[in-house]
Amino acid sequence: MANCAVYVLCLLFAVTYVQADSWETLLLGNLTADHEPEARPVLNHSHPVSVTIDVALAQIISVDSRNQQLLTSLWIRMYWTDELMRWTPSDWGGTSAIRVSSEKIWRPDILVYNSLLPYGSNFEDSEATIYSDGSVAWLFPLTMLSTCSIDVSYFPYDEQTCNLQFGSWSFDGLRVDITNKSATGDTGSYKVNEEWELISFNARRAVFLYDCCPEPYPSVTYSAFLRRRSLFYNVNVIAPCFLFVLVSLFGFWVPAACGEKLSLGVTVLLALVVFMQVVNQSLPITSRSVPYVGQFFGATIVIVAISVSFSAFGIMFHFHELNLKKPPPWLKTILFVPGYRIWQRCCSNKKSVDIKEERPDSVESDIAVENFDELTADRKSFMAGHVMTHMSKIDKNLQAIKDTADENQAQESLQEEWRFLSAQLDRVLMVSILLVYLIVSASMFLSLPPGLLR
């Protein structure tokens, strides 16, 4: 008995399932029997088909700044009413909704005006849901490559607005009217992009009138407001610029006698130029404005070039041998006078010590001369003329040696003075260039619009 009851229940369930499936089949066949997918689904030809669109931004795949392209993953949702597909659910076994291939029904030819690639096959094979009151919901995913006008004036601290303009291509607003479902797009399932921060995703409707046609053409534009995440560029672009400048400034500490002093600055300058070319490859070719990073690189290159030029001047001062003229007073004033006076005091003390050390030799010479005079006094008769002649020659030779020594000492003193001024010049230039670079960098960062440095 129990087995019979179970058998009857299973049979009833199977019959009910088959009947339900047959109801949908019969309903679908009845609705699409005489349906023409190309005709607008309205009973009155003068009435437009009102299409409501809603776009969900699933992911910003990439923003190609150089080619000014935006690649996004979207979920498109379109809603309209098909007045030719209505039924009473009670007449069809309680069926209130059916799903049908979108190719078998009329669908709006709404596309993205600024798209670079056509819709993919992922929307052609999608199904639409038709309800008993004639309302249709057509939902499908879409990967869209579109144009995006990118302004890199403040790169890498820039903000961009990329638009997706939806509208009918074949019908005017009197035939197909398009409106947005809400003032903002759906970002509930948005996947965060590592390079760009999504600030907002707004929608607005606009109606355009063209010279060719008197009819209005409505469209809905979704605007994605993006802000570039600058941490990557701060670490890999901006920070190396500061390091390049610091390395070039350290070149002022390298002794002028070292042959690598000037080559260090030239190497840094060349590395900076090459680094700038690498960064420029990711930027669009535009003449409207110079990117912020380009201005920063330009200022850095100019400052490094100035430091290299001043290093050459420092080397020239160090090896200053043209007539060995005394340094002008104004140069001593500019290059830190207290330090110059300390150096002079040290040099004068050194000279006085040298003189004191030479005094014993001069005393011995005087004694030798006196003894020599006593010896020659007894022999004036036959050696006076001969000795005086030799003494006169010796005196001239000693005077020439003394003059040469004094001249060499003066030249060495001038060389030491120029070398000291060269070292002082390096210190002054290093501090001055560092201050100038800090002021230029601070002024450039402060000139950015508020809110970009985040």
Residue 435's CATH number: 1.20.58.390
Candidates 8, 3, 152, 2; CA nearest to 68 is: 152
More confident residue, 7 or 59: 59
170 within domain boundaries: yes
237 within domain boundaries: yes
pLDDT at 348 over 60: no
Same domain (yes/no): 234, 245: yes
Same domain (yes/no): 47, 125: yes
Token pair, residue 112, equals 């993205």
Quote the Cα angle for 28-32-37, to 5°. 135
pLDDT at 364 over 50: no
Q: In this predicted model, what pLDDT tens digit does every residue of 99-124 receive, in sequence order?
A: 998 888 999 999 899 998 755 445 66
Question: Would the CA dihedral through 24, 30, 31, 34 be positive or negative?
Answer: positive
63 within domain boundaries: yes
Burial 285-298 (b: 16+ CB within 10 A, else e): eeeeeebbbbbbbe
Same domain (yes/no): 326, 434: yes
Q: ω into residue 156 within 30 of 0, thus cis? A: yes
More confident residue, 180 or 258: 180
Same domain (yes/no): 93, 197: yes
Give the end of a domain, one of 176, 194, 228.
Answer: 228
pLDDT at 221: 97
Same domain (yes/no): 109, 243: no
Percentage of the chain exceeding pLDDT 90: 26
Same domain (yes/no): 100, 183: yes
pLDDT at 11: 42
The CATH number assigned to the domain holding 212 equals: 2.70.170.10
Q: Are 56 and 182 in contact (CB under 8 A)?
A: no
pLDDT at 334 over 90: no
Highest mean pLDDT, choosing among 221-230, 353-362, 399-408 = 221-230
Category of 295 on φ-ψ map: left (φ > 0), alpha (ψ -120 to 50) or beta: alpha
Token pair, residue 35, equals 């349906």
pLDDT at 206: 95
pLDDT at 51 over 60: yes
Same domain (yes/no): 38, 121: yes
Give the end of a domain, one of 179, 213, 228.
Answer: 228
Same domain (yes/no): 412, 271: yes
**Residue 193 lies in domain:** 25-228
Give Dmax over CA atoms of the chain in angstroms. 175
332 within domain boundaries: yes
Token pair, residue 64, equals 């190609």
Please give the torsion angle defined by the CA atoms of residues 33, 37, 42 and 44, in that order, rounded to the nearest 10 degrees: -90
14 within domain boundaries: no
**Burial zone of 415 (CB within 10 Å; 0-12 exposed, 13-18 middle, 19+ buried):** middle
Structure-token match 């008197």, residue found: 214
Task: Give, rounded to a whole angstrom, the gap between the first and last alpha carbons of the chain.
Answer: 78
Token pair, residue 364, equals 């011995």
**Burial zone of 418 (CB within 10 Å; 0-12 exposed, 13-18 middle, 19+ buried):** buried
Structure-token match 């129990």, residue found: 2
**Burial zone of 19 (CB within 10 Å; 0-12 exposed, 13-18 middle, 19+ buried):** exposed
pLDDT at 234: 86
260 within domain boundaries: yes
The residues near 199 (Cβ < 8 Å, ≥ 6 apart) are 159, 225, 226, 227
Same domain (yes/no): 119, 29: yes
Same domain (yes/no): 310, 190: no
Taking each helix axis from N to C end, the angle separating 380-446 and 292-318, rounded to the nearest 10 degrees, works out to 170
Total domains in the chain come to: 2
Same domain (yes/no): 174, 70: yes
| Average pLDDT score over the chain | 77
pLDDT at 164: 96
419 within domain boundaries: yes
Give the end of a domain, one of 211, 228, 245.
Answer: 228
pLDDT at 358 over 80: no
Category of 158 on φ-ψ map: left (φ > 0), alpha (ψ -120 to 50) or beta: beta
Q: Are 137 and 128 in contact (CB under 8 A)?
A: yes
Same domain (yes/no): 262, 187: no
43 within domain boundaries: yes
Q: How far is 238 from 440, CA to CA, in rounded Å?
A: 14
Token pair, residue 244, equals 């390049």
